[in-house]
């Protein structure tokens, strides 16, 4: 087994570890250890499952505020997700479907089933190697029958063959003797949020000697999983089935000194893959790679892709081990959850590592994650925006459903682009998402120089959303336009008057639309005519976009440096936080009714600070400082999108102690074992937030949105000796190296893929 060397090679700066098993934290590690390759993702559950943690329990999850919901499944929840494979939930609209669990491997010795909770297990250790996305587990199992075994598991979801997952189990008999029964299979006894999305599960034993589970979902997709096994010693495998579990079964007598290695391969294909051919034929083709190339070669190819990814996305922090590991964990999950080859999907709020947010897409993608991709993988950034272009039709339907022209992007989008949010407050009022998308596409274009993207795709989004905005505004008695009944990024105020963030975003969106259209009209009459024709654009449209952009009210108070969150913000009630928020380790929202929260000055997350962060040129340092001091004490950070924004702006203000406090909070979001933060999935927006904290905050990179050259204004935490990262910028690769004394930026010779 070639994991020998790898077992010794636990590089503390690259591996996240679990040193002891505890039922209390299993679910957290399942989220944290999620593996994937863009195409498919599997939570880091044990191969053998966990006693008492049923995966096929049926119940109704009700629409609720996800941040404050009490999740089911306290100990373990399997999760196998293929972005784009969704089905209808009776109460929650469309959700991603948790597919059959294909990692299943069970061991039984003299009637005793291996289980981390029940078995006598010693020297337990599990770790995820971020360099190559391989998950390892090793421990000694002392069985009741007297046979003692060292078991070593290793698995990876191939980055080079996206339909393939490989697993390996090494068994070394340390003392005693006995027969080990081994079952390796695919288990379809899985429900999503308590709901059964499988219309049919067909299990079969195809001619070729593998096992198969084919699922027909209620979303109309067919998913085929095929699996085969190999062992280092002769084992007679039989193909069996129990309930919805199909598996290979074999047994072997082992005595002290014996070693056995079992390898399992799984290929996964679906009817929605961009590939012609029958499912079975395609699934077999991928599975054959296991037979033909062998596990070693497949591992090598897989690891090579990861190495290449890290070459352009790693950030090295010298002098802060914790920050280094947390940052690499975040980058790992960003790389993994990005479906690089499929612009029909984006990155869901839990990074395909949990069911909590139903696999839906939020503004998290555009505002929190996109900068990482613009500067480490521009092609992926383009695809993420293409997802919004591809879902423009859904956005048009949303606008129509609300009685407007044009396009209105969903607060919670699924693959169709249609609104999926079951809670009216967010669905109806959190409208900034529509403008955030335009901001993001301009950010992509400014960071890459890919102006063609605007003419071929972006302008469609811009014009269609502009048509929505000019109808969504109201005109006031002074002749200014207003946006009434708006929820800004701060979700604890559901219906405000002129939210500063939203209005500024909308103004940007309208102004940019006019600016681009005027530019193309002057520079390229043919192109302009094409656009005019394609979008049925009229001079009246243009005039209206311009008028609303120019006269849209932006909340401002001449008597103070503090930027008002909304025109009516001061009308809300003040709260005595110390009396209400008894335990600050828990979200504030748990200590107050929604009704009271909605009429009080308690922010869920950065709102004005998010605005200043995205439009730094609009504000003076004094305004930033005053707004920070005013809003920070009344911001609860109940949303994981908040702390990084405060951290970045604290760093800009040179308040390094505060920035350090926020850095810790951001890192703990998924890493903290005490908080079990990753249990319901990865807070992938926070992962993007962490990248931004380091690059925009501590390195002080000026956003490509506003700056055409690379400019840094570093504020490194005291203990950091050096910070180094790679940046894609306008079609070229650069390296930045920052120490406490100086910084350097130099161009790399590497070619950037267009």
Say how far apart CA 469 and CA 504 lie, in whole Å: 12
Say how far apart CA 724 and CA 314 lie, in whole Å: 9
Nearer to ligand BGC, 471 or 668 (CB): 668
Residue 701 CB, nearest distance to ligand BGC (Å)? 23
Neighbours of 577 (CB within 10 A): 15
Q: Which stretch binds ligand BGC (CB under 6 A): 174-182, 361-369, 565-573, 576-584?
A: 361-369
67 sits near ligand BGC (criterion: CB under 6 A): yes
Nearer to ligand BGC, 100 or 681 (CB): 681
Concatenated DSSP letters of 223-281: EEEEEEEEESS----EEEEETTEEEEEEEEEEETT-EEEEEEEEEEEETTSS--S-HHH
Residue 349 CB, nearest distance to ligand BGC (Å)? 4
In the numeric block, the tokens 């702006």 are attached to 649
Neighbours of 633 (CB within 10 A): 8
34 sits near ligand BGC (criterion: CB under 6 A): no
362 sits near ligand BGC (criterion: CB under 6 A): yes
SS3 content of the chain, % helix, strand, coil (to 5): 35, 25, 40
439 sits near ligand BGC (criterion: CB under 6 A): no
358 sits near ligand BGC (criterion: CB under 6 A): no
Residue 689 CB, nearest distance to ligand BGC (Å)? 11
14 annotated ligand-binding residue: no
Nearer to ligand BGC, 198 or 363 (CB): 363
- Give, as ranges, the residues between 607 and 646 that touch ligand BGC (CB under 6 A): 639, 641
Sign of the CA dihedral with 111 first, then 117, 123, and 127 last = positive
Size of the site for ligand BGC (CB under 6 A): 13
Residue 146 CB, nearest distance to ligand BGC (Å)? 51
Nearer to ligand BGC, 290 or 501 (CB): 501
Q: Which stretch binds ligand BGC (CB under 6 A): 213-221, 362-370, 466-474, 667-675?
A: 362-370
604 annotated ligand-binding residue: yes
Binding test (CB under 6 A) with ligand BGC, winner from 76, 148, 420, 605: 605
Q: How far is CA 439 from CA 288, 371, 507, 647, in A?
A: 45, 12, 10, 22
Q: Which stretch binds ligand BGC (CB under 6 A): 133-141, 360-368, 386-394, 578-586?
A: 360-368
Strand partners, 156: 166
Q: What are phi and psi of 261, to 5 degrees?
A: -125, 130
Cα atoms in the 13 Å half-sphere on the side-chain side of 645: 30
604 sits near ligand BGC (criterion: CB under 6 A): yes
Nearer to ligand BGC, 64 or 525 (CB): 64
- Give, as ranges, the residues between 336 and 355 that touch ligand BGC (CB under 6 A): 349
463 sits near ligand BGC (criterion: CB under 6 A): no
Residue 292 CB, nearest distance to ligand BGC (Å)? 42
Residue 385 CB, nearest distance to ligand BGC (Å)? 18
Q: Which stretch binds ligand BGC (CB under 6 A): 71-79, 358-366, 516-524, 730-738?
A: 358-366
**Dihedral angle of Cα 282, 283, 286, 288, to the nearest 10 degrees:** -110
Q: How far is CA 388 from CA 69, 96, 241, 363, 461, in A?
A: 29, 18, 43, 11, 8
Residue 368 CB, nearest distance to ligand BGC (Å)? 8
Nearer to ligand BGC, 94 or 491 (CB): 491
Q: How many degrees, rounded to 5, is the angle at CA 292 between CA 291 and CA 297?
A: 95
Say how far apart CA 187 and CA 166 lie, in whole Å: 16
Nearer to ligand BGC, 491 or 567 (CB): 491
In the numeric block, the tokens 């961009």 are attached to 274
364 sits near ligand BGC (criterion: CB under 6 A): yes
Shortest CA distance to 534 belongs to which of 463, 587, 589? 463
- Give, as ranges, the residues between 469 and 508 that touch ligand BGC (CB under 6 A): 489, 491
Nearer to ligand BGC, 152 or 605 (CB): 605
| Burial classification of residue 598, based on how many CB atoms lie within 10 Å of its CB (0-12 exposed, 13-18 middle, 19 or more buried) | middle
Cβ neighbours of residue 673 under 8 Å, at least 6 residues apart? 25, 28
Say how far apart CA 314 and CA 676 lie, in whole Å: 25
* CB of 104 closer than 8 Å to CB of 203: no
In the numeric block, the tokens 């600016």 are attached to 515
What would the two tokens of residue 414 be? 């699924």
* CB of 677 closer than 8 Å to CB of 683: yes
Nearer to ligand BGC, 528 or 588 (CB): 588
Residue 364 CB, nearest distance to ligand BGC (Å)? 5
363 annotated ligand-binding residue: yes
Catalytic residues: 491
Say how far apart CA 414 and CA 434 lie, in whole Å: 15
47 sits near ligand BGC (criterion: CB under 6 A): no
Nearer to ligand BGC, 245 or 413 (CB): 413
168 sits near ligand BGC (criterion: CB under 6 A): no
Residue 639 CB, nearest distance to ligand BGC (Å)? 4
Shortest CA distance to 85 belongs to which of 201, 204, 223? 223
363 sits near ligand BGC (criterion: CB under 6 A): yes
- Pairing relationship of beta strands 222-231 and 474-475 according to DSSP bridges: unpaired
Shortest CA distance to 427 belongs to which of 403, 458, 398, 449? 398
186 sits near ligand BGC (criterion: CB under 6 A): no
Residue 521 CB, nearest distance to ligand BGC (Å)? 36
685 sits near ligand BGC (criterion: CB under 6 A): yes
Say how far apart CA 443 and CA 224 lie, in whole Å: 39
Residues near ligand BGC, by CB under 6 A: 67, 349, 357, 362-364, 489, 491, 604-605, 639, 641, 685
Could you list the residues known to form a binding site for substrate, using ranges.
363-364, 604-605
């Amino acid at each position: 087994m070639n994991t020998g060397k790898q077992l010794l090679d636990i590089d503390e700066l690259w591996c996240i570890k679990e040193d002891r098993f505890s039922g209390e934290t299993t679910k957290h590690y399942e989220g944290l250890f999620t593996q994937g390759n863009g195409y498919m993702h599997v939570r880091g559950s044990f191969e053998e499952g966990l006693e008492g943690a049923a995966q096929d329990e049926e119940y109704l999850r009700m629409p609720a505020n996800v941040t404050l919901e009490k999740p089911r499944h306290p100990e373990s929840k399997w999760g196998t997700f293929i972005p784009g494979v969704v089905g209808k939930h009776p109460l929650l609209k469309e959700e991603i479907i948790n597919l059959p669990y294909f990692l299943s491997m069970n061991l039984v010795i003299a009637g005793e089933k291996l289980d981390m909770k029940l078995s006598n297990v010693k020297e337990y250790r599990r770790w995820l190697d971020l360099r190559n996305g391989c998950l390892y587990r090793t421990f000694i199992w002392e069985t009741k029958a007297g046979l003692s075994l060292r078991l070593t598991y290793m698995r990876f979801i191939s980055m080079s063959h996206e339909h393939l997952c490989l697993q390996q189990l090494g068994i070394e008999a340390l003392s005693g003797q006995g027969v080990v029964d081994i079952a390796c299979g695919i288990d379809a006894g899985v429900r999503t949020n308590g709901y059964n999305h499988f219309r049919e599960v067909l299990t079969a034993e195809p001619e070729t000697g593998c096992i198969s589970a084919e699922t027909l979902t209620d979303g109309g997709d067919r998913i085929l999983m095929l699996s085969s096994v190999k062992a280092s010693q002769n084992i007679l495998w039989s193909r069996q089935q129990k309930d919805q579990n199909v598996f290979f079964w074999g047994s072997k007598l082992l005595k002290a000194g014996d070693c056995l290695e079992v390898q399992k391969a799984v290929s996964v294909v679906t009817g929605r893959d961009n590939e012609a051919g029958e499912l079975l034929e395609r699934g077999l083709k991928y599975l054959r790679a296991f037979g033909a190339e062998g596990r070693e070669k497949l591992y090598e190819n897989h690891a090579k892709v990861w190495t290449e990814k890290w070459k352009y996305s790693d950030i090295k922090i010298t002098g802060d081990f914790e920050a280094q590991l947390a940052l690499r964990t975040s980058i790992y999950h960003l790389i993994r959850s990005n479906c690089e080859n499929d612009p029909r999907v984006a990155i869901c709020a839990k990074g395909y590592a949990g069911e909590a947010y139903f696999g839906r897409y939020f503004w998290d993608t555009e505002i929190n994650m996109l900068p990482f991709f613009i500067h480490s993988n521009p092609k992926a950034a383009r695809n993420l925006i293409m997802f919004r272009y591809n879902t423009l039709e859904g956005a048009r339907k949303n606008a129509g459903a609300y009685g407007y022209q044009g396009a209105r992007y969903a607060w919670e989008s699924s693959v169709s682009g249609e609104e999926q949010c079951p809670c009216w407050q967010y669905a109806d009022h959190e409208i900034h998402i529509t403008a955030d998308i335009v901001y993001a596409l301009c950010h992509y274009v400014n960071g890459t120089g890919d102006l063609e993207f605007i003419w071929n795709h972006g302008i469609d989004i811009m014009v269609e959303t502009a048509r929505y905005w000019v109808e969504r505004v109201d005109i006031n008695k002074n002749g200014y336009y207003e946006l009434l009944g708006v929820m800004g990024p701060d979700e604890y105020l559901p219906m405000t008057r002129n939210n500063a963030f939203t209005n500024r975003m909308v103004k940007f969106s309208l102004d940019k639309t006019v600016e681009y259209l005027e530019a193309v009209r002057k520079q390229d009459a043919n192109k302009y005519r094409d656009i005019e024709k394609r979008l049925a654009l009229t001079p009246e449209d243009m005039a209206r976009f311009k008028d609303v952009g120019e006269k849209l009210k932006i909340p401002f108070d001449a008597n103070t440096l503090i930027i008002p969150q909304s025109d009516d913000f001061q009308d809300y009630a003040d709260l005595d936080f110390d009396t209400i928020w008894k335990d600050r380790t828990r979200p504030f929202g748990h200590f107050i009714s929604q009704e009271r929260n909605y009429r009080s000055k308690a922010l869920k997350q950065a709102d004005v600070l998010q605005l200043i962060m995205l439009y730094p040129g609009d504000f003076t340092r004094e305004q930033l400082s005053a707004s920070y001091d005013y809003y920070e004490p009344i911001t609860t950070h109940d949303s994981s999108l908040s702390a990084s924004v405060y951290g970045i702006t604290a760093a800009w203000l040179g308040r390094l102690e505060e920035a350090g406090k926020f850095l810790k909070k951001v890192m703990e979001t998924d890493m903290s074992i005490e908080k079990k933060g990753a249990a319901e999935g990865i807070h992938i927006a926070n992962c993007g937030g962490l990248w931004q904290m380091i690059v925009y905050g501590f390195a002080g990179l000026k956003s490509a949105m506003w700056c055409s050259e690379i400019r840094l204004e570093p504020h490194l935490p005291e203990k950091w000796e050096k910070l180094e990262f790679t940046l894609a910028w306008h079609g070229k690769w650069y390296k930045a190296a920052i120490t406490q004394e100086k910084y350097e930026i130099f161009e790399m010779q590497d070619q950037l893929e267009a």
